[in-house]
């Protein structure tokens, strides 16, 4: 599992950025009418994916 997390770390960080950007656009009204709960889900999802991505980067650069 840790090797797989290290391999997809960059993709997880990119997805976290995309979700954070969508949350930002939804909170400023650029995406139309979006419920506050959906905006919160965007940010929570971005935080979870960001944490997993950083854990993967740590695993990838750990000495063997």
Residue 38 CA to its chain's centroid (Å): 15
Half-sphere exposure for 39 (CA within 13 Å, toward CB): 13
Label residue 27 exposed, middle or buried (CB < 10 Å: 0-12, 13-18, 19+): middle
The closest of 19, 10, 8 to 47, measured between CA atoms, is 19
* pLDDT per residue as tens, the chain (64 positions): 778 889 999 999 999 999 999 999 999 999 889 999 999 999 999 999 999 999 999 999 988 7
0.95 cut: is pTM over it? no
């Amino acid at each position: 599992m840790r090797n797989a997390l290290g391999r997809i770390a960059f993709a997880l960080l990119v997805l976290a950025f995309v979700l954070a950007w969508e949350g930002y656009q939804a909170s400023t009204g650029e995406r139309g009418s979006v419920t506050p709960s959906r905006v919160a889900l965007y940010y929570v999802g971005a935080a979870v994916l960001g944490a997993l991505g950083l854990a993967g980067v740590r695993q990838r650069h750990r000495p063997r």
